[in-house]
Structure 1
């Protein structure tokens, strides 16, 4: 399987706007982690970007996970880019 990095932006006022969707968002991420697809995810300290690393069979799988997330579906994540990633050091 290949590794992928996803990077995207949060909306303005993310702390306030994410509240109704946070529980579903975190539950989905936990399920991805348990399945071994999501390696790690988190925001930058200034809450402007999110960065995630996935291990999946294709970029399409990762894209489906990102677009299926409540944060994407409700405008908390405003854009994203997914790139296949080469892990140089473990």
Structure 2
């Protein structure tokens, strides 16, 4: 596993939000303004894990709107779909 550097920062107010500045850490992992990340917060350990979002290319003919609609349907009918899986 690669080398990690622990950096201490204070939580500050940014407008109506709380945040931390971490420009150097973001640059070290190749992140810049506008890049997408995923955030996993674990309240039991107090840890927050930030990762580069993985960009996935959609197959030809599949639009982002279709994927959004599919996600909505799967969420709405989650229990029904799980029940069908077990038959």
TM-score by length of 1: 0.23
The structure number with the bigger radius of gyration is: 2
Relative contact order higher in (CA < 8 Å, ≥ 6 apart): 1
TM-score by length of 2: 0.23
Higher share of residues assigned helix: 1
Higher share of residues assigned strand: 1
